[in-house]
A and B are shown apart, each in its own frame.
Chain A
Amino acid sequence: MKKILVCALLWFTVVKIQAAEITVFAAASLTDSLKEIAAGYEKTSGDKITFNFAASSTLARQIEEGAPADIFFSADEAKMDGLEKKGLIDPATRNSRLGNALVVVVAADSPLQIRSASDLTNAAVKQIALADPKAVPAGIYAQAWLTRQQLWPAIEPKVVPTENVRAALAAVESGNVEAGVVYKTDAGISKKVKVACEVPARDAPAISYPMALVKESSQPDAAKKFLNYLDSREAGDIFRKFGFTLRD
Chain B
Amino acid sequence: MSLLLKNILLPLEPFALEVDVEIRGRVTAVFGPSGAGKTSLLDLIAGLRRAQSALIQLDDRVLTDTAKGFFVPTHQRGIGYVPQDLALFPHLSVRQNLLYGRKPAGAADRLFGFDHVVEILEIQPLISRSVTELSGGEKQRVALARALLASPRLLLLDEPLASLDAPLKAKIIPYLTRIRDEFHIPMLCVTHDRSEALALADEIIVLVNGQVLQTGPVLDVFNRPASADVAAIAGVETLQAGVITNSHEGLATVKIHDTILTALAPATGAREVFVCIRGEDVILQRDAAGASSVRNRLPARVAALRPEGALVRVELDAGFPLFALVTRPACAELALREGDPVTALIKTPAIHLVPR
Direct contact of A and B (CB under 8 A): no
